[in-house]
Amino acid sequence: MSIVAPSLLAADFLKLESECAMLNESEADWFHLDVMDGRFVPNISFGPMIIEFIRKTTSKTCDVHLMIEEPEKYAEQFKKAGADILTVHIEACRHLHRNVQQIKALGMKAGVALNPHTPVSTLTDILHDIDLVCLMSVNPGFGGQKFIPYTLDKIRQLRRMIDEKGLAVQIEIDGGVTLDNAASIMEAGAHVLVAGNTVFKSADPKGTISLLKKL
């Protein structure tokens, strides 16, 4: 069964409280929270302050995706804000092993995200230290982009690597996930589906979450 992680980036921030309530009432498993700094990605979203407010509305897992440079400087702040999973980009971490250890020492699960051009083989020597891999299926920075089909090959390669090592690392797919491509994403070997526009721009967000859950 899939883990569905709606991305609040596509929510109506004037109605943040009711958007969170809707997710709480839905079958969504996680809240996916996209942090952008205008440096690592060409967009700025929100930071720990907003996450602290969101955290107060829910007991579901807060899955924080950092699209920022120097994430090590902010790991503690995101822990205090209530992050359960903290994901950093491999392209933003010169000392990824140290960054991962820091996240785990703070009591969070550690995720590593890969941009579309970054091969999954770069994870070989860190895979056994992490809880989650977030494969970007669009170039990070914006919601509502089109799924890059080659991601399916990357999922298959990564699934093989994880299984060969006998690990329980979760594979999360982020960007352009729709009701049409979600089944093939799951078939390729991913379990965690991030969905922004597909959920929040749907006429029936809760119903859409249920459909994703059934996959």
CB-based contact 17:43 (threshold 8 Å):
no
**Contacting range for Zn ion; rule: CB under 5 A; set: 33-41, 51-59, 100-108, 149-157:** 33-41
**Residue 204 is among the residues annotated as catalytic for this protein:** no
Q: Does 145 bind ligand DX5 (CB under 6 A)?
A: yes
How far, in Å, are 137, 162, 169, 205, 214 from residue 28 at the CA level?
20, 25, 20, 10, 11
Kindly state the smallest distance separating residue 194's Cβ from Zn ion, in Å.
5
Alpha-carbon span 209 to 195, nearest angstrom: 9
Structure tokens at 106: 């703070």
Which span (16-24, 48-56, 134-142, 163-171) binds ligand DX5, by CB under 6 A? 134-142
- Look up 163 and say whether it is catalytic: no
Of 34, 37, 63, 131, the active-site residue reads 34
The residue (of 75 and 134) whose beta carbon lies closer to ligand DX5 is 134
Residue-wise DSSP of 101-135: HHHHHTT-EEEEEE-TTS-GGGGTTTGGG-SEEEE
Measured distance CA(61)–CA(172) in Å, rounded: 14
Q: Interface residues for ligand DX5 in 23-82 (CB under 6 A)?
A: 32, 34, 65
Q: Would you count residue 154 as binding Zn ion (CB under 5 A)?
A: no
- Would you count residue 195 as binding ligand DX5 (CB under 6 A)? yes
User: Minimum distance from CB of 69 to ligand DX5 (Å)?
Assistant: 15
Residue 174 interacts with Zn ion (CB under 5 A)? yes
Q: In 3-state terms, what secondary structure has residue 86? A: strand
Q: Does 141 bind ligand DX5 (CB under 6 A)?
A: yes
6 binds ligand DX5 (CB under 6 A): no
Q: List helix spans (H) across 58-191.
A: 75-81, 96-105, 151-164, 182-188
Binding residues for Zn ion, rule: CB under 5 A, are 34, 65, 174
- Residue numbers annotated as active site: 34, 174
